[in-house]
Amino acid sequence: MPVMKALALAQEKGLDLVEIAPTSKPPVCKIMNHGKFMYEKKKKDHEAKKKQKHIQVKEVKFRPKTDEHDYQFKKNHIKRFFGDGDKVKVCVVFRGREIIHPDIGKSILERLVSELQEEGIVEVSPRLEGNMMTMFMAPKPKS
């Protein structure tokens, strides 16, 4: 249908002529109430956004001299974060001369991975960056 005829038809009905697919040959147009269409589209987008799951990255810091009780306490925090569906950044912070023993930090992170293998998986393996050894863990996907 020619554009002028379509515009006249839309004005006659008191509606708008909206171009739906401008790249197709010939372009596709629709006669509709544009304001109502945009309102419904905005509501649909808002509803879709509501149902999204926001994943946060929580951080837990250890030290090479972390005591057993503190280690268990922080491990339980990580379990709780996994239960909430959050990812965890696990850090071992070295101060002063502790940096010459990165094997201690690596052993702490490996122990954590072995104890949490039922709840989570390692996304980024441990690596030393400056005076921190970091590792990222995520909860196991639901099957």
Residue 143: the pLDDT is 65
Residue 109: the pLDDT is 94
Per-residue pLDDT of the chain (143 residues; tens, 9 = 90+): 888 898 899 899 989 988 888 888 888 889 999 899 899 999 999 998 888 777 889 999 999 999 999 999 999 999 999 998 899 999 999 999 999 999 999 999 999 999 999 989 999 999 999 999 999 999 998 76
Residue 121: the pLDDT is 93
Number of residues that make up the chain: 143
Residue 115: the pLDDT is 94
Residue 25: the pLDDT is 87
Helix/strand/coil (H/E/C) assignment for every residue in the chain: CCHHHHHHHHHHHCCEEEEEECCCCCCEEEEECHHHHHHHHHHHHHHHHHCCCCCCEEEEEECCCCCHHHHHHHHHHHHHHHHCCCEEEEEEECCHHHHHCHHHHHHHHHHHHHHCCCCEEEEEEEEEECCEEEEEEEECCCC
Residue 113: the pLDDT is 94
Q: Taking Cα atoms as reference points, which of 62, 117, 63 lies closest to residue 90?
A: 62
Cα 85 to chain centroid distance, Å, stands at 10
CATH (one of 1.10.1060.10, 2.40.33.20, 3.90.1150.10, 3.30.110.10) for 57-139: 3.30.110.10
pTM of the predicted model over 0.85: no
**CATH number for the segment(s) 3-50:** 3.10.20.80
> Domain ranges in the chain?
3-50, 57-139
